[in-house]
A = this chain, B = another copy of it.
Amino acid sequence: MIESTLVSVDVIVLRFDPDARAVLVGVASRAQEPFAGELALPGVLLARGERLRDATTRAVTGKLGLAEESVTATGQLTTFDEPSRDPRGPTLSIALWATVTRPTGDLAVWRRLDDVPALAFDHDRIVADCRPLLADKLWRDVPFTAGLLGPEFTTAQALDVTESLTGERPYPANLGRTMDRVPGLERTSQHASALPKGGRPPLVWRFSAGVAPA
């Protein structure tokens, strides 16, 4: 019988912060060696028979201190198999994404996706390699998009999220046409509450019931 590899699950936890007008990544200070005290992506060892989705939730709740209900969507990215990535020995790392709602009283350090600090293990590489994959999901992967933006949002917020993920801010008219083609997303005629600094109140976009997160 072959001795099997350990499998860890490392999660890129994303959240849109309307005040910061940016997508944030949740990382946490490591409690134990190796890399104690350094920032790292939340990760756990996959238990025998455990689903990836469950391990993702376990990492987000256990390492970032978020409530289970705040996880709005999850999914796979890629697998990293460099044997020396963990000094304790060879482990496979399955990279996953999770979108979460604004947390209350969590342990996480939230940093802008375009300004992620140095992380432990090979987590810098995981973030770098997975960023294009995440950017590609926006407006194409409906659960990802709905999980990130929530059931209702304005065009300006959609612009902010797009800029955070792709690095480029599209023209509003063009983004509007992109959104018109997203299944389950509809342009409402409802106006959002007025802005603090004046200006025309924005219209609201809404994901229909089957698609929107709880």
Interface residues of A (CB under 8 A from B): 2-7, 45-53, 76, 78-79, 81, 83, 89-90, 92, 94
Instruction: Given A4-B6, A92-B7, answer yes or no on A79-B52 (Cβ-Cβ < 8 Å).
Output: yes
A-B contact pairs, 29 of them (CB 8 A): A2-B47, A2-B48, A3-B47, A3-B48, A4-B4, A4-B7, A4-B45, A4-B46, A4-B47, A4-B48, A5-B7, A5-B46, A5-B47, A5-B48, A5-B50, A7-B7, A7-B92, A46-B92, A48-B89, A49-B83, A49-B89, A49-B90, A51-B83, A52-B79, A52-B81, A53-B81, A76-B78, A76-B79, A79-B94
Collect the chain B residues with CB atoms within 8 Å of residue A94's CB: 79
Counted per complex, copies of this chain come to 2
Q: Does A2 lie within 8 Å of B51, measured CB to CB?
A: no
What residues on B are CB-neighbors of A51 within 8 Å? 81, 83
A8 to B: closest C-beta gap in Å: 9
Interchain nearest-CB distance for A109 vs B (Å)? 26
The distance in angstroms between the C-alpha atoms of A4 and B5, with both chains bound, is: 8
- Since A4-B4, A4-B5 are in contact, a sample of 17 more A-B pairs with Cβ atoms closer than 8 Å, ordered by chain A residue number, is A2-B47, A3-B48, A4-B6, A4-B45, A4-B46, A5-B47, A5-B48, A5-B49, A7-B92, A46-B92, A51-B81, A51-B83, A52-B79, A53-B81, A76-B78, A76-B79, A79-B94
